[in-house]
């Protein structure tokens, strides 16, 4: 018995469909993948993080984007929706619509049981193809735990795992410290 071929889409077709869609989907090299909904803890963590991130530190200006702005990764022909992105200085958009950014320095993903392995492996590998990308934060929802990757050179990323409410994340790309107790404010663990 022959299996039906999966329909492949161009990036333009995906963007046209996404503009009319009721739910978000990601685009991965011709395939459209539906995204799952987020939990209350997921939303609380994302909102807490965005509240803690400054729009400026000294003379450095930052743009902060939540999960409604897409990230274009040309090396992998991929559009995705990171939970939080930070861009230093001016964002570079794909076009005048300003729906897809290309130059984040910091990307944050809030992990769920269904995305945890993927966010650590394949997605991280694809993000590393972005020249401006310097820092990756993976936030667990079930306790005070954050994996923090910092780029040291083209082929070297250093991982620090932060655990416990007293732990502090020292961001490098935007020179800021975030306490886990503040990041997880109002989050209810199972």
CA proximity to 27, closest of 88, 95, 99, 86:
99
What phi and psi values does residue 189 have, to the nearest 5 degrees? Answer: -80, 150
| Distant-in-sequence, close-in-space partners of 16: CB < 8 Å, separation ≥ 6 | none
pLDDT score for 130: 97
pLDDT recorded at residue 105: 97
- Please, which residues have CB within 8 angstroms of residue 47's CB and are 6 or more apart in sequence? none
Band of residue 162 on the pLDDT scale cut at 50, 70, 90: very high
Q: Pick 39-70+82-183's CATH classification: 3.40.1350.10, 3.40.50.10420, 3.30.465.10, 3.90.1570.10.
A: 3.90.1570.10
Kindly state the percentage of the chain with pLDDT values over 90. Answer: 75
Q: What is the pLDDT of residue 96?
A: 87
Give the predicted TM-score (pTM) of the model.
0.92
- Are residues 155 and 164 in contact, defined by beta-carbon separation less than 8 angstroms? no
Residue 74 gets which letter from DSSP? G
Distance CA 24, CA 36 (A): 8
Query: Residue 116: pLDDT band by 50, 70, 90 thresholds?
Result: confident
């Amino acid at each position: 018995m022959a299996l039906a071929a999966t329909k492949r889409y161009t990036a333009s077709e995906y963007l046209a469909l996404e503009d009319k869609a009721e739910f978000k989907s990601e685009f991965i090299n011709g395939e459209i993948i539906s995204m799952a909904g987020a939990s209350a803890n997921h939303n609380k963590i994302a909102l807490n993080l965005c509240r803690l991130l400054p729009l400026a530190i000294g003379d450095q200006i930052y743009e902060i984007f939540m999960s409604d702005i897409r990230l274009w990764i040309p090396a992998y022909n991929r559009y995705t929706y990171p939970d939080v992105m930070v861009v230093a200085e001016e964002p570079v958009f794909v076009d005048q619509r300003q729906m897809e950014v290309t130059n984040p320095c910091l990307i944050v993903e809030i992990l769920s049981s269904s995305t945890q392995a993927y966010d650590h492996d394949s997605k991280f590998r694809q993000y590393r193809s972005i020249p401006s990308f310097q820092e990756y934060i993976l936030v667990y929802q079930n306790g005070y735990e954050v994996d923090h990757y910092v780029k040291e050179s083209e082929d070297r990323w250093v991982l620090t795992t932060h655990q416990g409410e007293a732990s502090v994340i020292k961001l490098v790309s935007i020179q800021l410290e975030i306490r886990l107790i503040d990041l997880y404010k109002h989050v209810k663990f199972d």
